[in-house]
């Protein structure tokens, strides 16, 4: 399948500080691709490199199969983005703002196209209203309409729901899904929340401290065959050794004197429990954790 974005071993320093150390990922045509990482992970820096706003120190970026450094303007004319809060002329109407942006960017749209875009983002009856009276969510949706003016194949959204109220979040989320389903756009969406990515993205990469860690299908990453199970019991350290010996295919670690973490397939959990009981351990609790969620929470906690 054709890749829309291919980033390989990207690095970007600011002075001596390596904001991005080694980021690689591939976005395929038609993906809603989640770019997930805690604050400060290097998401915005990577996105700014992708949009050619800053120059990376190392690595390669290809968009639509073309090298960004060599075919910058051809590539960027096919990309729409919101990377900070969209900036509008407050005292102009929503429609007028889109007309002005269309003129500046040379987009070939007429009044009825602009009306269709306003309708698409749920602002069909607000076109004549001044942007100064818009909520943050409405401005965000108008920003998405603005990215559509030149009909790009790829839309890059940096933390598009941050700071929105719950209703605004749902509206922007639904809009992103409609961009994919109705307009067949490819979307790169950054977020620091796994729940956000889980709801709308089909593929994702996790980045932390400037490095990409894991990439794949969201459904597979969230429901991978392996499960982390934490057993609460007495003498976890001795139990760890015994379980590891009896179940060599599992990964066992004593988290503390009273907690044993076992990475295993779900079917083995009752057998491990029976074994521990047989060995006279007192198992107080067994808590399954989704692997990715647990992993991501640990990253964030660091």
34, 37, 56, 152: which one contacts ligand ADP (CB under 6 A)? 37
Bridge-based pairing state of the strands 17-28 and 32-36: unpaired
Q: How far is the CB of 51 from ligand ADP (least distance, A)?
A: 13
**Given the rule CB under 6 A, which of 38-46, 83-91, 222-230, 252-260 is the region that contacts ligand ADP?**
38-46
Nearest one of 24, 20, 31, 22 to 7, comparing CA atoms: 24
Q: How far is the CB of 50 from ligand ADP (least distance, A)?
A: 12
Local structure of residue 133 (DSSP, 8 states): G
Segment holding 96, helix H or strand E: helix 94-105
Task: Work out whether 40 is an interface residue with ligand ADP (CB under 6 A).
Answer: yes
**Given the rule CB under 6 A, which of 32-40, 99-107, 267-275, 282-290 is the region that contacts ligand ADP?**
32-40
Interacting positions 42-61 with ligand ADP (CB under 6 A): 42-45
**Given the rule CB under 6 A, which of 26-34, 40-48, 103-111, 169-177 is the region that contacts ligand ADP?**
40-48
Q: How far is the CB of 38 from ligand ADP (least distance, A)?
A: 7
Q: How far is the CB of 186 from ligand ADP (least distance, A)?
A: 20
7, 23, 41, 204: which one contacts ligand ADP (CB under 6 A)? 41
Nearest one of 236, 200, 233, 234 to 218, comparing CA atoms: 200
Q: How far is the CB of 30 from ligand ADP (least distance, A)?
A: 25
In whole angstroms, what is the distance from residue 189 CA to residue 32 CA?
7
Q: Which residue lies nearer to ligand ADP by CB, 40 or 65?
A: 40
Task: Work out whether 21 is an interface residue with ligand ADP (CB under 6 A).
Answer: no
- Ramachandran bin of 51, using left for φ above 0, alpha for ψ from -120 to 50, beta for the remaining angles: alpha
Nearest one of 114, 108, 123 to 96, comparing CA atoms: 114
In whole angstroms, what is the distance from residue 213 CA to residue 223 CA?
17
The tokens describing 143, both together, are 């920003």
Q: Which residue lies nearer to ligand ADP by CB, 23 or 118?
A: 23
Contact 101, 149 (CB under 8 A): yes
Footprint of ligand ADP (CB under 6 A) = 14, 17, 19, 37, 39-45
């Amino acid at each position: 399948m054709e890749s829309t974005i291919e980033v390989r071993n990207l690095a970007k320093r600011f002075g001596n500080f390596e904001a991005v150390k080694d980021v690689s990922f591939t976005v395929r045509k038609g993906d809603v691709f989640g770019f997930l990482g805690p604050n400060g992970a290097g998401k915005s820096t990577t996105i700014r490199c992708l949009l050619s706003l800053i120059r990376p120190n190392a690595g390669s970026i290809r968009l639509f199969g073309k090298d960004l450094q060599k075919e910058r303007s051809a590539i960027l004319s096919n990309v729409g983005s919101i990377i900070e809060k969209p900036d509008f002329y407050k005292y102009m109407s929503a429609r007028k703002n889109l007309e002005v942006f269309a003129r500046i960017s040379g987009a070939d749209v007429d009044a009825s196209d602009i009306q269709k875009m306003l309708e698409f983002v749920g602002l069909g009856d607000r076109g004549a209203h001044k942007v100064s009276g818009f909520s943050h969510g409405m401005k965000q949706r108008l920003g998405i309409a603005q990215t559509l003016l030149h009909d790009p194949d790829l839309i890059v959204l940096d933390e598009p729901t941050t700071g929105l109220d719950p209703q605004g979040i749902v509206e922007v989320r639904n809009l992103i899904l409609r961009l994919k389903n109705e307009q067949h756009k490819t979307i790169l969406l950054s977020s620091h929340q796994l729940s956000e990515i889980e709801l709308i993205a089909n593929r994702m990469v996790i980045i932390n401290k400037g490095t990409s860690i894991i990439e794949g299908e969201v459904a597979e990453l969230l429901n991978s065959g392996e499960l982390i199970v934490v057993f609460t019991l007495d003498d976890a350290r001795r139990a760890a050794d015994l379980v590891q010996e009896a179940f060599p295919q599992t990964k066992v670690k004593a988290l503390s004197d009273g907690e044993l973490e076992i990475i295993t397939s779900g079917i083995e959990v009752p057998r491990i429990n029976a074994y521990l009981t047989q060995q006279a351990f007192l198992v107080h609790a067994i808590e399954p954790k989704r692997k990715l969620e647990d992993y991501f929470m640990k990253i964030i906690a660091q």
